[in-house]
Structures are given as C-alpha cells and as structure tokens.
Amino acid sequence: MFGPSSLVDFEMLKKDIKRHEDNLKFLKSEANRLDESILDLQVTLGKYHSTNTPQKATKNGGSRNEEETTEQILKQEITAAAMFCQIKTQHATLLSNLPLTKDVLGVVATLARVDNDNLNRLLSEYLGLETMLALVCRSFEGVKALEKYDGEGKINSSAGLHGLAYSIGRKINGRFLVICLEDLRPYIGGFIADDPQKKLVLSKPKLPDGSSPTGFLDFAVNMINLDNGNLYCITAKGHGLRETLFYALFSHLQVYRTRTEMLLALPCITHGALSLDGGMIKRNGVFALGNRTDVEVKFPVISSRCLPADYTKIEDAVRMLKWEQGNIAEDMRREQSLLDKAKAQLMGESKT
C-alpha cells in the first residue's frame, strides 16, 4: 500500500520520467536534423575539392600540398599515424563512425599549413618526427579508446588502434605519441583584433634596455595557418587548435631573420628561438648546432589556389553546426542520466 505522501512522490516520479523521455525525443530529433544539415554542407565542400586541381608538389623538395604530406606519413609504415592516414584515405566513412577513432582530429603534420618551404623545414625539424606523427585527440576518453590492456597490463593487440591496424594488414611497432587537447593548458590571453586566423596577442620580446631585438619576425605559434574549422570550438570549452595544440608545442618560440640576430637577442629569448638561416635554440641554454636535419614529414605549404566566395561561409556554418551538435550530445547524456535515476527511484518506490 502507498500512503498519501508516497502516492504523491510516485506520481511526481512518473511525471519526471515522462518529461525526461520527451526531452530526449526532442534532442534526438534535433541531433538528426543537425546530422543532415552538416552532411549537406560537407557534400557541397566535397564538390569544390573534387573540381579543383590541388597544388602540385615538386620532386626537388618544392611546395608540398596536403596529399604529399599524407604520402610522406604513409611511408612511415609501422607507425600509428600511417595506419590512421591509410584508413582516412581509403575508408573515411568507417573512420568517422568508429567509436575508437571519432575523437581523433588527425596527425599533427596534417593540422596546419605554413607559408613557405624554408619555414616548413624549420618548424618540422624543431618539433621532430615523433611529434609531427603524433595523433591528436579531443578528450582523454578518446586517448583511452586507442589502446586496451589485459589483466597483466600488456597491450591487447586485437583491440584499440592495434586491432584496427591488424584488420587492414598493418602493425604498429614501438611507442607513438597521442596529444589530448582537454588536458593541455590553453593560452588564456586575447587574440589579435580582426585577424581571420585568430593569432594570439603575445608580448613582443624586449631587450634589457627596453628596445626591440633586431630581426625578430614573429612567434612560431602565429606563423602557422589553420583551416577555419580548426580555429574555433575544437574542445568542449570552445578552444581552437592555435591556443591549445600549437601553443603547447611552440609556446613563445621566437623566429628571427638570421642566426646572428637571434644570438644578439639571447637576453629576451625565454622559450627558444629559430632563425631562417638555420639557427635553433631548443630552450634556454640548449643550442642545436651542426647542419639541418631534414624531417621527412612536414606540414603542407599554403596553396595558391583561390577559394570561391562562399567557401569560408560554408566552412563556418559546418563549424557552428558541429559546435551545436556537441552541445546537444552533452544535453542528451545529462537527460539520459536523469531519466535512469528517476526510473531507479520509481522502482524503489514501487517495492516499498
């Protein structure tokens, strides 16, 4: 028997369950609508890419486009980056639907472009091959999904990224880096006003006498270029790749015109420096001497092709829809949790 107060609680729980179920139904319909809208816009963007010839790469180390960067990654056959790029190239639909990889944004080398080959060589050498081949995940949950272990702490080769590699005839040897964006401390300053690339406002270096060092060009983090989709809303807190990934990789790394000018600026170099003629200071007190090392995997160089007038607008629309999609997914998880809790309470009431 239910007492009067128990009946009231029972009815309130039933109403709560109905409300959460209705909310979930609405959110699911909104999620489906967003999926369809995003797909339509991506088809439009895909038509542009299929009807425009990409910039050709020269065999003697000239300008590199996105395709050549991918080809160079694929040559690193036993790496996680190569396996990921192979699936992305040949099985893009599979990759986007797999819970294992849907949190992976890509390989570091594919997530930015640079203005010229010389700067490309410098930045790629500074980061090194291991970092250029690192996978980038939005969240720690995504990182955990990439590798599974047995009861003894050994890697389960039939699960996670290792299992996926085996399914396409590849094997991942050795360690590989995975960078988790949500665990990085983002840049918390402002952005340069009206800059379409959202470059960071960083205090220009000053010598002890207050003067600016001769030959200073910019900070490396502001000398890379990002696609519009990577400028905004990559993380759950709305940060883009410049203030998370690339700020973590480059920090306040300074770029100078010549090695001589770079060395004269030592008193105001706090996080390392590069010079266009090959000078490199990895960090305070650590100098990289000798000849340049040409890292095989480099960033793509910006193409000279022109984008149609509405291309950027379409990319922005996709980005905003994906941001809204993420918010709805979070709302659905919250509503499902509340629904499960209310049902559990109802079951408890019915047994008393």
Strand partners, 225: 113
What digits encode the pLDDT tens for the residues 155-211? 888 788 888 878 777 788 888 899 999 999 999 889 988 888 889 999 889 889 888
pLDDT of res. 62: 38
User: φ and ψ at 216, to 5 degrees?
Assistant: -70, 130
Beta strands in the chain (DSSP E): 104-107, 135-137, 178-180, 216-219, 254-256, 273-275, 280-283, 286-288
pLDDT of res. 129: 92
Alpha-carbon distance of 133 to 131, in angstroms, equals 5
Cβ atoms within 10 Å, residue 188: 8
pLDDT of res. 1: 47
Alpha-carbon distance of 269 to 261, in angstroms, equals 12
pLDDT of res. 60: 37
Cβ atoms within 10 Å, residue 95: 19
User: φ and ψ at 227, to 5 degrees?
Assistant: -65, 155
Residues in the chain with pLDDT < 70?
1-8, 39-40, 42-64, 91-97, 233, 303-309, 311-312, 349-352
C-alpha torsion angle, residues 138, 339, 17, 10 (rounded to 10): -150
pLDDT of res. 61: 39
Alpha-carbon distance of 303 to 69, in angstroms, equals 13
User: φ and ψ at 77, to 5 degrees?
Assistant: -60, -35
pLDDT of res. 39: 64
Q: Do 219 and 197 contact (CB within 8 A), yes or no?
A: no
Q: What's 275's DSSP letter?
A: E
Note the Cα 222 to chain centre separation in Å.
16
Q: What is the CA radius of gyration of the chain?
A: 25
Matching residue, tokens 């990289």 = 288
Q: Do 74 and 54 contact (CB within 8 A), yes or no?
A: no
